[in-house]
Amino acid sequence: MRFEADSPVHPLVQTVPHLAFEVENLDHELTDRKFHIITEPNPPSDSVRVAIIEHNGAPIELIEFLY
């Protein structure tokens, strides 16, 4: 992907490929595991919430589908 110089996307996400993992409860995962959050939970589309964490220097997306 290409990002504009003033892109609000975290620099780590702009430069390092990431994986995504589905979770059942995004809030629980973020609170219980005390991850380093680099993109706060947000709804990119209907019935979906995502957050991006940094783990061992790599960005990891956590995704929750709201059924």
Cα separation, 12 vs 31, whole angstroms: 22
pLDDT at residue 22 in the model: 98
Residue pLDDT, tens place only, 12-63: 999 999 999 999 999 999 999 989 999 999 999 999 999 999 999 999 999 9
pLDDT at residue 67 in the model: 82
Q: What fold characterizes domain 11-65?
A: 2,3-Dihydroxybiphenyl 1,2-Dioxygenase; domain 1 (3.10.180)
Q: Mark out the alpha helices in the chain (DSSP H runs).
A: 11-15, 26-33
Domain extent listing, the chain: 11-65
Q: Does the pTM exceed 0.85? A: yes
